[in-house]
Amino acid sequence: MIDGFSFFKKRRFPLNRNKFKFDLIFSPILIGPFILVIISSLLIKSIQNQSTSNDFLSHLFTGICGYCLAIIISYIPLDRLKKYVFPFYFISIFSLVLVYFFGITIYGAQRWLSLGLFTFQPSEVAKLSTLLAIALALEKKKINYLKDLTEPIILVSFPWILIFFQPDLGTSILIAAGGVIVAWLAGVRAKFFTISGVAMLALLPIAISFLKPYQKSRILTFLNPERDPLGAGYQIIQSKIAIGSGGLFGKGFLNGSQSYLDYLPEKHTDFIFTLFSEEFGFFGSLFILFLYALILSRIIRIGHMTRSNFGKLYCYSFATAFFIYVAVNMMMVLGLLPIVGSPLPIMSYGGSSMMAIMFGLGIVMSCKIYKDVPVN
């Protein structure tokens, strides 16, 4: 019988059997997401009697596949991963282009591709591929002049334009934010951000003119949800009622009135945190925040440990982007931001988002395993 570890050994993959069993499989950076998958799967299962689809098994299966994917990716050395960064980026761009020709419409938005047994949302993958591409582009580049930012700006512009005109305002903003994060971590001077900020303000009226009516309505609803309590403002009002009714300890599992009486739409996707907060209250929500904080702290720690400039830049930018994804979703369901269709990482139902996040965590784990291996 062939020893599986001999495969890695022959290819100079510096593995250790004990580390494989404990430091990786039971690492907080993977155990945290796995716990979140279990919690969110139980929540989805609890409301399944209101749905005709088997979302519970789909979400759980996707989480397990993502967990296995992260472990597989983690054992690929960074120097090999770097060779596939730009092909991965171009594939994600090509997928975004295909959406305009072959995309399927769900909930009135054309953002998905059908791959037979399942659907695929290219914009979720583009968020990760753009981070990787910019991190690689800025790995050894010193930014002294505005022209030095030409490559990163081009790398951000392609997915941003394609996603913005789907239309998907929320994801396009997150793509742009990811590019800014990597540039800032790469040492871009403050004056470049000042120039960019002034340019964005100057272009803001033009950008607003491209917004769809429902996007403008979301902004107005954010400013005053009561202007249309039975229409555009209904979802955010119900979300705040559900979270507030949870109190300190929650109503208990399966006892959430707003969720189970179907007052709250889309509770298993973007508003799953609302569903959890109503049932488990303030202290339960703190536990979820603790798990996310644990994941973030481990990513940042690994970024500090790795010797690779690409690894450091990627880990720090992925941690910051991950924090923004979590913060935007939670602020959205609390009424502190307009509803932009941003899923809660790992917990929200959606295979594309789940697999992209777990793929990204796998690369972070690769930075840990090969932290002492210099990468050219």
Asked if pLDDT for residue 49 goes beyond 80, the answer is no
Q: How many CB atoms lie within 10 A of CB 28?
A: 14
Residue 138 or 13, more confident: 138
Residue 109 or 137, more confident: 137
Look up residue 91 and give its two tokens: 């594939």
List beta partners, residue 114: 119
Cβ(366)–Cβ(78) below 8 Å: yes
Question: For residue 112, which phi and psi values (nearest 5 degrees)?
Answer: -120, 150
- Mean pLDDT along residues 211-222: 74
The pLDDT of residue 19 is: 46
Nearest to 121 by CA among 156, 163, 177: 163
Look up residue 174 and give its two tokens: 């997150």
Q: What's the DSSP call for residue 110?
A: E
The per-residue pLDDT for range 181-203, each reduced to its tens digit, is 887 777 777 777 777 777 777 77
Residue 256 or 251, more confident: 251
Q: State pTM to two decimals.
A: 0.86
Q: Please, which pLDDT band fits residue 373 given cuts at 50, 70 and 90?
A: low
Cβ(88)–Cβ(98) below 8 Å: no
Q: Please, which pLDDT band fits residue 242 given cuts at 50, 70 and 90?
A: confident
AA letter at 239: S
Asked if pLDDT for residue 3 goes beyond 70, the answer is no
Residue 329 or 234, more confident: 329
Query: Could you tell me the residue ranges of all domains in the chain?
Result: 85-211
Asked if pLDDT for residue 348 goes beyond 80, the answer is yes
Q: Please, which pLDDT band fits residue 376 given cuts at 50, 70 and 90?
A: low
Strands 104-106 and 109-114: what pairing?
Answer: antiparallel
The pLDDT of residue 52 is: 43
Which helix (H) or strand (E) covers residue 278, if one does?
helix 272-305
The pLDDT of residue 9 is: 44
The pLDDT of residue 119 is: 82
Q: Please, which pLDDT band fits residue 7 given cuts at 50, 70 and 90?
A: very low
The pLDDT of residue 145 is: 67
The pLDDT of residue 375 is: 57
Q: How many CB atoms lie within 10 A of CB 265?
A: 12
Asked if pLDDT for residue 45 goes beyond 90, the answer is no
Place of tokens 């305002």: 169
Asked if pLDDT for residue 144 goes beyond 70, the answer is no
The pLDDT of residue 10 is: 45
- 33: preceding bond cis by omega (within 30 degrees): no
Residue 111 or 232, more confident: 111
291/269 Cα distance (integer angstroms): 19
The pLDDT of residue 11 is: 46
230/39 Cα distance (integer angstroms): 31
The pLDDT of residue 369 is: 86
- Mean pLDDT along residues 346-358: 91
The per-residue pLDDT for range 275-331, each reduced to its tens digit, is 899 999 999 999 999 999 999 999 999 999 988 889 999 999 999 999 999 999 999
- Mean pLDDT along residues 332-336: 89
